Amino acid sequence: MSPAPRGHNVSLERRAWGIRRHALLMGEVQGQGYIAQALDIADVLAVAYFHAMRYRPDDPEWEGRDRFLLSNGHYAIALYAALIEAGIVPEEELESYGADESRLPMSGMASYTPGMEMSGGSLGLGLAIAVGRCLGLKHKGSDARVYTLFSDGELDEGSVWEAIMAAAHHRLDNLIAIVDVNNQQADGPSTAVLGFEPLPEKLAAFGWFVRRVDGNDLAAVRDAFDAAAAQAGSGRPAMIVADTLMGKGVPFLEAREKNHFIRVEPHEWRLALDALDERKPA
């Protein structure tokens, strides 16, 4: 099933569905992957790539593009799905996900994949890199923006808070960060592993513009991206706190006991695709 063509009147719902479907197909190839995270963040990526960001699918390094930095490299399966949907990565490469010599390794790395702007994997790197990107863009006089996605577990890392301080200090209103609060990290619920709430209040106290939304409510996510973009000129960086549901869009995965690395049995990939296909938007 090909990505819906860009520039046509394709709904964000249809884009998010497409991202979920590409991700499930990649998960099926390897029989594993951070599929629950990919499903939870698909709506955010749909808004980023089909509402908010400027880019040229045939020229991923176009100087005028908005940059998207994937800090949580294990979400690569989700970003590859978005890059496929956006026409930056050809859909047929989906079959190579996680295989030897593939441009789509399981953890996202800058040198492997068109449209992948940084090497993640070691958590807590993205926001620091984003600060440098934003400083550089301002130095060049560019009005391009830097979007960076990171996970709630990364809030445990001190480097994230170094960058949160620096972005406000340097008045980086060209930075839009999205934190995926799915409340799940390797050892359990993120809020139980190392509490970070009340997150919006903390970020606001650090000088950020903050919008907390249901990260699986496309209209709300779109509005949050718009509000964040409107911060240009304010001197304030923007953070979208996206509360998401792991496994979103596939009911039996949504209902599965939450785990950082959701187990999907071999026969369940087809079931998941069927469940998704039943919910294909117009």
Partner 1 sequence: MTGAGDRGQHDRPRLTTSAMIASIAAEGQRTMAAPFGHALVALAQEDPSILGMTADLGKYTDLHVFAQAFPERHYQMGMAEQLLFGAASGLAAEGFTPFATTYAVFASRRAYDFIHQTIAEEERNVKIACALPGLTSGYGPSHQATEDLALFRAMPNMVVIDPCDAHEIAQAVPAMAQHRGPVYMRLLRGQVPLVLDEYGYSFELGKAKLLRDGADVLFVSSGIMTMRALEAATALAADRVDCGVLHVATIKPLDEAAILAACARPGRLVVVAENHSVHGGLGEAVAGLLMRAGVHPAFRMVGLPDAFLAAGALPTLHDRYGISTNALCARVKTWLG
Please state, in angstroms and rounded to a whole number, the distance separating the CA atoms of residues 9 and 235: 34
Shortest Å distance, C-beta 260 to partner 1: 21
Residue 212 sits at φ, ψ, to 5 deg, of: -100, 130
Q: What's the min distance (Å) between Cβ of 111 and partner 1? A: 7
Of 166-185, which residues contact partner 1 (CB under 8 A)? 166, 169-170
Q: Tell me: does residue 60 bind partner 1 (CB under 8 A).
A: no
Name the segment binding partner 1 (CB under 8 A); options: 31-39, 114-122, 221-229, 260-268. 114-122
Shortest distance, CB of residue 112 to partner 1, whole angstroms?
A: 11
Rule CB under 8 A: choose which of 156, 162, 214, 217 binds partner 1.
Answer: 162
Task: Give yes or no for residue 24 binding partner 1 (CB under 8 A).
Answer: no
Q: Is 19 helix (H, G, I), strand (E, B) or coil?
A: helix
110: contact with partner 1 by CB under 8 A? yes
Element (H, E) at 271: helix 268-278
Q: Which span sits near partner 1 by CB under 8 A: 52-60, 93-101, 103-111, 257-265? A: 103-111
Of 78, 129, 177, 181, the one binding partner 1 by CB under 8 A: 129
Of residues 248, 252, 230, 250, the one with CA closest to residue 240: 230
Answer yes or no whether residue 81 interacts with partner 1 by CB under 8 A.
Answer: no
Asked if 134 is part of the footprint of partner 1 (rule: CB under 8 A), the reply reads: yes
Binding mask 239-278 vs partner 1 (x if CB under 8 A, - otherwise)?
----------------------------------------
139 binds partner 1 (CB under 8 A): yes
Q: Is 235 in the site for partner 1 (CB under 8 A)?
A: no
Task: Decide: is 111 part of the binding site for partner 1 (CB under 8 A).
Answer: yes
Number of residues that bind partner 1 (CB under 8 A): 31
* Per-residue CA distances from 54 to 103, 145, 176 (Å): 23, 9, 14
Q: Does residue 70 touch partner 1 according to CB under 8 A? A: no
User: Under a CB-based contact definition with an 8 Å cutoff, are residues 159 and 128 in contact?
Assistant: yes
137 binds partner 1 (CB under 8 A): yes
Q: Give dist(CA 75, CA 184) in Å, integer.
A: 13
In this structure, the dihedral spanned by the alpha carbons of residues 145, 146, 151 and 152, taken in order and rounded to 10 degrees, is -60
CA nearest neighbour of 48 among 228, 172, 212? 228
Of 21-29, 94-102, 124-132, 259-267, which part binds partner 1 (CB under 8 A)?
A: 124-132
* Pairwise CA distance, residues 197 & 73, whole Å: 24
CB 15, CB 50: distance < 8 Å: yes
Q: Are 37 and 245 in contact (CB under 8 A)?
A: no
* Close Cβ partners of 243 (under 8 Å, ≥ 6 residues apart): 181, 182, 212, 213, 214, 215
Contact residues for partner 1, defined by CB under 8 A: 109-111, 117-119, 121-122, 124-125, 127-137, 139-140, 158-159, 162-163, 165-166, 169-170
